[in-house]
Amino acid sequence: MPVTKFTTPEKYRYQNGFGSYHESEAVTGSLPIGANSPQKPPYGLYAEKLSGTAFTAPRHENQQTWLYRILPAAAHSPFNPREASSYNTNPEGNKMHQIPNQLRWDPFDLDESADWVHSLKLIAGAGDPTMKAGLGIFIFAAGKSMDRNAAFYSADGDFLIVLQHGVLDIQTELGRILVRPNEICVIPRGVRYRVDLPAGPVRGYILELYQGHFQLPELGPIGSNCLANARDFQAPVACFDEDTPGKYAIISKFNGHLFEASQDHTPFDVVAWHGLYYPYKYDLGRFNTIGSISFDHPDPSIFTVLAAPSDHVGTSIADFVIFPPRWLVGEDTFRPPWYHRNTMSEFMGLIGGEYDAKTGGGFKPAGASLHNIMSAHGPDQGTHEKASNAELQPAKVGEGSMAFMFESCLMVGVTEWGLKQCKKVQEGYNEESWTPLKAHFKIPEGVKRISNLVDAGDTNGELDIGKIVNEGAQAEISQNDLPHYT
C-alpha cells in the first residue's frame, strides 16, 4: 500500500510538490500580479519578504517567500528573556558529552503538563546555531495545546518533526498542517506557528538543522524516480485569522534561549503568499523503497528521505533515513544490516512496531539509540543467530513497523539531560546486545595455514637477494632492484 491508513482523517487542503514554487491566496485577488511589492498591495495588505537564504545565493539554492499580510511581523514589543528550559542552560553550562559508548534510551514519558514549547528537550547535538553550523536532536512530549494567543518560532534552524504518538494540528503563518503518526513535518527557520493537540498528548522526535535546508537526495543510477517522490510532499494553502482584540505572545528560540515579545494583533494574518520557503509535510507510507534483488544488503543510504548536504559532496550534515516495511529476497545473504563502524553518527528512533535488526524488546517505540562516530554496532546476538540460520525464502520484514535514523557526519554530543536527567538510558545495552555473541571460527581438518613470514624458497615474486649472493652473482644490483623490505 503506497499510502498510510490514518485513523484521523485529513481536514486541510494542500499544494503538492517538493521544492516547487507555490502560490496561494485566501481571498481572491489578494496576490499582486506582475510585481512583488507594489506601491499599494491589494486590499490594504502589507508586503513582507521572508528569506531562508542569502539574497545572492545561487538560483537553485535560493529560498524566499513573499507574504501579503494585514500587519507586518515587525509590529511587536521588544523581546525579553523568558524562563530557562532544557535547551537553554543547565548546571553544567549546556555541556555536551562526546562519548564513544553505544547508547539506548527507554521510551520517553508523556508529559500532560507541558505545551509544545516547554516539552522540547535537547538530547544530543553538534555545532553552534550562532555560526549556522551543525544540528540539534530533540524529543518532545506534550499534553497541552499552546495558548490561543501565542506563536513560536526558532531562529536557530529548520525543525524536522517526526511524530510518534498523537496528532499535531499546526497553524503556521502560511497555512495549516495536520500531522499524524507516520507523517513528518518540516517547519523552516523563522516561520511562526502554534500547535494544537486535538487527540490528546503527543510525543516524538525533532532534528533541528542549524545550517542549510533539507533537500531530496540525489538518485544517481537509480534514475529519476523512487525513494521519496517530489509530488508526495504537501505545502499548506493560505489561511488567515480574523483579528480579535487581545495581546499575543511571540516566543522565539534564539541560540537555545527563549525570548518573548507581545503584540496586539494576530501573527496569523497572511492572506496570500508565493515562493519557495514554506512548511511542508510528507507521508512516510509513500516512500518507494529500493533494495537488492540478487545478493548482499545495500548501504542504508538507499533509505534516505531527506538530506542536508555539507560542502563535501556525498557527505551530509544530516540525513533523515527510514526503515519501512519491505521485501527481502537476497540469495546467500545475511539479510539484516551488517556489523559496522561508521564515520557518520547514527541516532535512531522507533515510531511503531518492532525493528527487524533487534530482538528482545530493548528498542521500543518512543525510545532511541545513538551509535556515534566509529562506535561499533550491528545486529544483536539473537538477531544474528536467527538470520544466520533462516531459510532464505522471500520474506517481508517490518510489517506494522517504522524505524528512522538521523545520520550526521558530525560527532554528536549528548546533553546532561539526555545522559542523566531523563533517567532513560539503558544500563548494559552493550552487554545485552553484543557480549553474548559467540565465536564460530573453526579451521577444517586438512586446510593449510598460510604464514605471513617470507620463506627463502617463496619470495612472493620479490627478488631473492640471498639466492643471488649464495650463487656468487655479480654485485651490479641497482637500488631499484632491491625489495622494499630490505
What are the residue numbers of the active site? 297
Q: How far apart are CA 139 and CA 127, in angstroms?
A: 18
Reading the block at residue 24, the C-alpha cell is 496561494
Identity at 108, one-letter amino acid code: F
Annotated binding residues: 340, 346, 355, 377
Annotated binding residues for homogentisate: 346, 355, 377
The C-alpha angle 10, 172, 2, rounded to 5 degrees, equals: 35
Q: How far apart are CA 287 and CA 226, in angstroms?
A: 7
The SS3 of residue 217 is coil
Measure Cα distances from 253 to 116, 155, 163, 261 in Å.
Answer: 12, 6, 20, 12
Backbone dihedral region for residue 370 (phi beyond 0: left; psi -120 to 50: alpha; all else: beta): beta
Q: How far apart are CA 465 and CA 470, in angstroms?
A: 9
Reading the block at residue 462, the C-alpha cell is 620479490
Closest CA to 170 of 242, 264, 236: 236
Closest CA to 366 of 102, 103, 110: 110
Q: How far apart are CA 30 and CA 117, in angstroms?
A: 32
Annotated binding residues for Fe cation: 340, 377
Contacts for 441 with CB less than 8 Å, ≥ 6 apart? none
* DSSP conformation letters of 404-459: EEEEESSPPEEEHIIIIIT--BPTTHHHHHTTT------PPTTPPP--SSPBTTB-
Q: How far apart are CA 24 and CA 406, in angstroms?
A: 32
Would you give the distance in Å from CA 29 to the centre of its chain?
39
Q: How far apart, in Å, do the first and last CA atoms of the chain sit?
A: 66
Whether the CB-CB separation of 330 and 294 falls below 8 Å is answered with yes
> Environment class of residue 130 by beta-carbon count within 10 Å: exposed (0-12), middle (13-18) or buried (19+)?
exposed
Backbone dihedral region for residue 32 (phi beyond 0: left; psi -120 to 50: alpha; all else: beta): beta
Reading the block at residue 331, the C-alpha cell is 540469495
Q: How far apart are CA 146 and CA 58, in angstroms?
A: 38
